[in-house]
Amino acid sequence: MSNLAQVLEGTTREFGDRTAIIHAGSRMTYRELNAAANRVANLLVGRGIRPGDKVALSCPNTPYFSLVYYGILKAGATVVPLNVLLKPNEIAYHLVDSDSRAYFAFCGDAALPLGDQARAAFEQVDSCTELFLMGGTDGSAADGGEDLDSLLATVAAEFSAAERSDDDTAVILYTSGTTGQPKGAELRHRNMRDNALVGKELFRADAQRPDVYLCTLPLFHSFGQTVVQNAGFAFGGTLVMMPRFHAGDALTLMKQHRVSFFAGVPTMYWGLLDVASGTPDADSLAEHLRVAASGGASLPTEIHRRFEQRFGVKILEGYGLSETSPVASFSPYGEEPRVGSIGVPIPGVEMKLIRDDWSEVSGGPEEVGEIAIKGHNVMKGYYKRPEATAEVMRDGWFRTGDLATRDADGYYRIVDRSKDLIIRGGFNVYPREVEEVLLTHPAVVMAAVIGVDHPSHGEEVKAVVVRAEGDPTTEAELVDWVKERIAVYKYPRIVEFVEALPMTSTGKILKRALR
């Protein structure tokens, strides 16, 4: 059987009494988690959900996410995790586009009223017939939807997971939709399973010496879902769930639970460094922290340097996309990281650099090409979008839209997203290169470089900067400082100081909102 739910079932058989999840002061063992997932599966089957049906899930990082996720898989259905920040019309779009027949939603609170949003979306979609609400107080489902806890109390805790093949779709992950409407990447059971199990080679994961993971990456996103949840459960680890990232609280949890595996995006590392400067507790983290992994966006060199200096741990940088389950490359564990590199292809995956016409770039280490990926991690395609699939896939290769170089040892280095490339007066300017320089200035906390329209140059280089509190540096002084350190066509002629940069729910800087 190839059902992805096996990563939970196998660990339950061997380590049933081990703690699987810690959340808000409570603990759940693997046996308890697996039984709860069985109840979800029984509930779905009783409501007519059959193998291959789609079931949507809106939930922050709480035990509900995992027990529903695996319950859907056990029933043989496909999980459609949704961003918890979507508004009702956006949720309705995803329910319709994915053909979801049932929908699980966390009730939330005043700050994140997921239950209300879910009800409003559900009422717009005739094809989705079941709405289950979870995590609310008594009566939370009175105005629409059914209370999941009450329902689960009435069904059996035993269930035989449905037979699925390697190539059946386990999860549909929706892309961020930066260009047009979001598309659903169909990820097979083998895509998700093999990408989780590669943790043995990538991080020396071992169920006999299990890790404790700080689960603060949103589980509806591929990075947290595969590298933390699925890999964590596959190797008998414990997930310390954190619904919303707060750097100070993260440091407290890491110390309290002796976290050995932290995976985050660059903005999380920024946050940890910011609060750690005045926190003596941060000194003890290195005693237990074994792996610090970064992905989701390019990690600035300055963050690498400062994190190792403060915590004594080297950050391993990786790379991937929703369409690749997500991990495609990683810095080898145990080796000195090549700062600024996303490492080498993971076992079972190939990468190459291509031109617009798919021909391979075969020049020297400075030649830029678009990353293409082939291997066990590459999606089946975009759900119900054969034309969009054909645009990005050919002969098993997936073109990513990310520009990179490759050195003589096979290490890849991201230059930028192809869509973020700035062409100033006929010269290519890669924003990340400029951002790296900016981040070495003591006044700069965060920076995003974008292209803005210019009447004669086509585009001009602009830097949007979060300045250190109380720093007197002016925009003009920062322009002059960068000008001395970078080629004349690259430095930003425009600098704008802001209080904060817009972020996606997964912690990436939202550059399109700056343009």
Q: What three-state secondary structure class fits 425? A: coil
For 35-53, the pLDDT digits (tens) are: 999 999 999 999 999 999 9
Two tokens at 128?
Answer: 């989705």
For 5, 195, 225, the CA distances from 231, given in Å and listed in that order, are 12, 8, 8
Q: Are 461 and 420 in contact (CB under 8 A)?
A: no
Q: Which pLDDT score is estimated for 467?
A: 96
Cis peptide before 326 (omega within 30 of 0): yes
Share of the chain above pLDDT 90, in %: 72
DSSP letters along 64-125, please?
Answer: HHHHHHHHHHHTTPEEEE--TT--HHHHHHHHHHTTEEEEEEE---SSS-HHHHHHHHHTT-
Is residue 296's pLDDT more than 90? no
Give, as one character, the DSSP assignment of residue 511.
G
The single-letter DSSP state of residue 299 is: P
At 180 the pLDDT is 58
Q: CA nearest 170: which of 222, 211, 118, 205?
A: 222
What the block records as the tokens of 480 is 């002059």
User: Stretch 233-245: mean pLDDT, rounded?
Assistant: 97
- Cβ proximity of 95 and 103 under 8 Å: yes
Among the ranges given (160-169, 417-426, 496-505), the one the predictor scored with the smallest mean pLDDT: 417-426
pLDDT on residue 506? 72
Crossing angle of helices 6-15/30-46, nearest 10°? 140
pLDDT at position 281 = 66
Average pLDDT over residues 388-404: 94
Residue type, 184: G
Fold of 28-164: Rossmann fold (3.40.50)
Q: What is the pLDDT of residue 176?
A: 62
Task: Say if residue 142's pLDDT is above 50.
Answer: no
Beta pairing, strands 315-320 & 327-330: antiparallel
The terminus-to-terminus CA distance of the chain in angstroms comes to: 49
Evaluate if residue 178 carries a pLDDT over 60. no
CA distance 478 to 449: 13
pLDDT at 83 over 70: yes
Mean pLDDT across the chain, nearest whole number? 91
Percent of the chain scoring above 70 in pLDDT = 96
Task: Please give the full DSSP string across 271-293, using - where no structure is assigned.
Answer: HHHHHHTT-GGGGGGGGT--EEE
pLDDT at 416 > cutoff 50: yes
Length of the chain: 515
Which parts of 321-476 are beta strand (E)?
327-330, 344-345, 349-354, 369-375, 381-382, 393-394, 397-406, 412-417, 422-424, 427-429, 444-454, 458-467
Amino acid, res. 228: V
Q: Report whether 81 contacts 90 (CB < 8 A).
A: no
Query: Which CATH architecture fits 421-513?
Result: 2-Layer Sandwich (3.30)
Domain parsing of the chain, residue ranges: 28-164, 421-513
> Where does 153-293 have alpha helices with state H?
189-197, 199-203, 222-223, 231-234, 247-256, 266-276
Mean pLDDT (whole number) for 425-441:
83
pTM of the predicted model as reported, rounded to 2 decimal places: 0.85
| CA atoms of 276 and 247, how far apart (whole Å) | 9
Provide the pLDDT confidence category of residue 426 given band limits of 50, 70 and 90. Answer: low
Q: How far apart are CA 212 and CA 221, in angstroms?
A: 20
Question: What is the Cα–Cα distance from 35 to 122, expressed in whole angstroms?
Answer: 28
pLDDT at 507 over 80: no
